[in-house]
């Protein structure tokens, strides 16, 4: 029996670990609130939004017509950076389930972010949290 080179074994293990880490990073939206800012991470997509920068918070059923700048769609998941085909503004999408309602954040006058979680109750809680914090700033 021929012995495998240790290099190829290490490369296979490293590739598997990288694939697992990429899956975990994109699997869901990782959110964090620190002081007066909201942070969201999903894979390579990251946004940091100050509550004072948020102009409007609303719930929407569908995403508007968007053109993908970078990102991906898998079944009901859609994440990435898009452009609004009408206004040509950047739109950040962190949607875990396209079939559920999404939180729409409008901030810094022209930027938009759409967000939801696989769990609709968590999406509702996050929406209430945004509403309460945006109302404090006004």
pLDDT digits (tens, 9 = 90+) for 83-138: 988 888 899 999 999 999 999 999 998 899 999 999 999 999 999 999 998 865 55
Report if pTM > 0.85.
Answer: no
Q: How far, in Å, CA of 125 to CA of 104, rounded? A: 14
pLDDT > 70 fraction of the chain, expressed in percent and rounded:
94
Q: Which residues pair with 84 in a beta bridge?
A: 66
Q: How far, in Å, CA of 77 to CA of 11, rounded? A: 30
Task: For 88-101, give one letter per residue: b (16+ CB within 10 A) or e.
Answer: eeebbbbbbbbebb
Q: How far, in Å, CA of 18 to CA of 106, rounded? A: 34
Q: How far, in Å, CA of 106 to CA of 33, rounded? A: 18
Q: How far, in Å, CA of 84 to CA of 80, rounded? A: 13
Top-confidence residue, 30 or 15: 15
Q: Has residue 30 got a pLDDT over 70?
A: yes
The pLDDT mean for the chain works out to: 88
Q: How far, in Å, CA of 59 to CA of 102, rounded? A: 6
For residue 39, the SS3 value is: strand
Q: Has residue 39 got a pLDDT over 90?
A: yes
- Rounded average pLDDT over 26-34: 85
Q: Has residue 26 got a pLDDT over 80?
A: no
pLDDT for the residue 57 = 95
pLDDT for the residue 40 = 93
């Amino acid at each position: 029996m021929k012995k495998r080179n240790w290099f190829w074994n290490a490369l296979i293990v490293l590739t598997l670990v990288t694939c697992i880490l990429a899956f975990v990073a994109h699997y869901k939206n990782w959110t964090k609130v620190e002081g007066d800012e909201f942070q969201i991470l999903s894979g390579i997509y990251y946004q940091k939004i100050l509550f004072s920068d948020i102009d409007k918070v609303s719930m929407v059923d569908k995403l508007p017509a968007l053109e993908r700048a970078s990102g991906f769609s898998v079944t009901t998941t859609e994440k990435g950076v898009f452009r609004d085909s009408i206004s040509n503004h950047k739109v950040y999408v962190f949607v875990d389930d396209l079939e559920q309602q999404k939180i729409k954040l409008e901030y810094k006058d022209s930027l938009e972010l759409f967000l939801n979680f696989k769990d609709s109750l968590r999406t509702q809680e996050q929406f209430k949290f945004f509403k309460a914090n945006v109302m404090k700033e006004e």
